């Protein structure tokens, strides 16, 4: 049985201070994950996790991760601004963007962030606007299908990201001519993987490529960035990744490939978002309506604007009806939000205990790519974000939007002039 990180008693106290819906985060769980990841890679002295800001772009969350020794991986100008505001500087910041606007590159250079180039044409582009830094990284895309033990994991050949193998060699040479001295190598080949073999397999591919690159171009390779992609068990019947086993698998690949090539000083970096945060967040909602037509519906006070994954990917998010954890799941419901959009369903044909209006309904595993993917369709407002602190107190770490926020980008001056 999947359990919530918050008890019904704690949650009742929190909703007495902050109205539903809101995203709730678990500080204790976040710190525990950061520590487990660090321990799994402790064999590599230069190891660093660069948390993928896009997964949970909240300064309070970033500060917790900073205290645990993490850096940040940013994908845009505003994420870089948030990183700076949190006190991340220089090599604490990875900038892994694509289709990158000029001003983003310029700003990343001003922060001395480590730039991870997505495309070979970006070498000249970056050089012309902000110059090539001494430390720079390139993103690799091997093309074709990426499989582990004959299971197709993903289809990089169809993905817009990265350099081809040929382009990586050419790019490294060109970057050296333009002044680069130390290099990074990065790839993201599969998302939300739940096997312990993903990182070790990816590491082997990148380690072998790094050895070839060093041989052919003479480049000094400072780090290999395994990026994101380690997943979590969204469904109750799935097993979690064992991060210690993952770290050990990467260590073996390191010993096998890099050490014999005299490259034992290479640092391993990760850019995990989902693994770090998803299970440490949940969306707290209340049932506000029930409807019985051709199916039985429960209407929540949240909608896809608060959590898009089910509508967008058909993603499963486990649901707990607080206080009814031990009752039989003998009711079949579609659990919906209020968007005028029929895919605004958090669950379809889900077996749950009987839900009554006013019940607190918790959607699990929304701590990454949850609030972050929110939007304002139908004029819906983004919810608050609340941190369940280690000491048990609840802290508002982002207030809910108000109509004023929604209207803030209009200029009504001329309209009012006429009236």
Q: Which residues would be at the binding site for ligand PLP (CB under 6 A)?
A: 52, 54-55, 73, 96, 188, 191, 227-229, 271-275, 368
Q: Which helix (H) or strand (E) holds 33?
A: helix 27-40
Nearer to ligand PLP, 200 or 353 (CB): 200
CB contact set of 312 (below 8 Å; sequence gap of 6+): 304, 373
Minimal distance in Å, beta carbon 55 to ligand PLP? Answer: 5
Q: Tell me, yes or no, if 389 is annotated catalytic.
A: no
CA nearest to 372, candidates 41, 16, 31, 62: 62
Q: What are phi and psi of 254, to 5 degrees?
A: -60, -45
We find the least distance from the C-beta atom of residue 368 to ligand PLP, in angstroms, to be 5
Structure tokens at 173: 């040479």
* Closest approach of ligand PLP to the CB of residue 165, in Å: 19
Least Å from the CB of residue 193 to ligand PLP: 9
In terms of CB distance, is 44 or 137 closer to ligand PLP?
A: 137
Residue 18 or 371: which CB sits closer to ligand PLP?
371
Q: Is the peptide bond before 174 cis (omega within 30 degrees of 0)?
A: no
Catalytic residue among 70, 74, 340, 389: 340
User: Contact, 221 vs 181, CB < 8 A?
Assistant: no
How far apart are the C-alpha atoms of 226 and 140, rounded to whole Å?
11
The least distance separating ligand PLP from the CB of residue 333, rounded to whole angstroms, comes to 29
Give CA–CA dist 159/141, Å, rounded: 8
| Three-class secondary structure assignment of 306-332 | CCCHHHHHCCCCCEEECCCCCCCCCEE
Q: How far is the CB of 229 from ligand PLP (least distance, A)?
A: 5
Whose Cβ is closer to ligand PLP: residue 18's or residue 88's? 88
* Cβ-proximal residue to ligand PLP, closest one: 228
Are the C-beta atoms of 12 and 245 separated by less than 8 Å? no
Burial 102-114 (b: 16+ CB within 10 A, else e): eebbebbbebebb
Query: How far is residue 355's CA from residue 290's CA, in Å, rounded to a whole number?
Result: 8
Q: By C-beta, is 10 or 191 nearer to ligand PLP?
A: 191
Is the Cβ of residue 161 or residue 406 nearer to ligand PLP in the bound state? 161
Residue 12 tokens, joined: 């009742």
CA nearest neighbour of 76 among 49, 57, 62 = 57
Active-site residues: which are they? 340
């Amino acid at each position: 049985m999947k359990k919530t990180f918050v008890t019904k008693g704690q949650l009742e106290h929190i909703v007495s201070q902050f109205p539903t819906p809101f995203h709730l985060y678990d500080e204790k769980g976040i710190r525990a994950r950061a520590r487990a990841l660090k321990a799994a890679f402790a064999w590599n002295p230069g190891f660093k996790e660069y948390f993928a800001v896009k997964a949970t772009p909240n300064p309070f969350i970033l500060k917790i991760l900073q205290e645990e020794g993490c850096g940040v991986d940013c994908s845009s100008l505003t994420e870089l601004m948030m990183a700076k505001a949190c006190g991340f500087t220089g090599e604490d910041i990875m900038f892994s963007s694509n289709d990158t606007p000029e001003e983003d590159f310029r700003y990343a250079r001003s922060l001395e962030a480590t730039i991870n180039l997505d495309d070979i044409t970006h070498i000249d582009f970056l050089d012309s606007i902000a110059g090539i830094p001494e430390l720079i990284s390139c993103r690799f895309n091997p093309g074709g299908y990426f499989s582990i033990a004959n299971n197709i994991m993903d289809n990089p050949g169809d993905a817009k990201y990265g350099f081809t193998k040929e382009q990586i060699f050419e790019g490294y040479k060109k970057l050296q001519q333009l002044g680069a001295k130390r290099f990074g190598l990065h790839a993201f080949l599969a998302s939300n993987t739940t096997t312990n073999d993903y990182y070790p397999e990816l590491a082997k591919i990148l380690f072998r490529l790094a050895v070839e690159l060093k041989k052919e171009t003479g480049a000094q390779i400072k780090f290999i960035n395994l990026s994101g992609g380690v997943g979590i068990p969204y469904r109750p019947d799935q097993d979690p990744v064992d991060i210690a086993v993952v770290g050990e698998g990467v260590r073996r690949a390191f010993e096998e490939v890099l050490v014999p090539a005299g490259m034992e000083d290479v640092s391993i970096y990760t850019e995990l978002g989902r693994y770090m945060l998803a299970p440490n967040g949940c969306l707290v909602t209340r049932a506000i309506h029930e409807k019985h037509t051709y199916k039985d519906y429960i209407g929540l006070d949240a909608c896809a604007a608060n959590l898009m994954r089910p509508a967008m990917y058909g993603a499963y998010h486990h649901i707990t009806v607080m206080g009814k954890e031990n009752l039989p799941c003998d009711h079949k419901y579609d659990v919906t939000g209020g968007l005028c959009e029929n895919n605004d369903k958090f669950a379809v044909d889900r077996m749950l205990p009987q839900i009554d209006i006013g019940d607190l309904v918790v959607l699990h595993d929304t701590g990454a790519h949850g609030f972050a993917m929110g939007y304002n369709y139908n004029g819906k407002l983004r919810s608050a974000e609340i941190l369940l602190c280690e000491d048990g107190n609840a802290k508002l770490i982002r207030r809910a939007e108000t109509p004023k926020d929604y209207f803030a980008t209009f200029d009504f001056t001329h309209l009012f002039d006429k009236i």
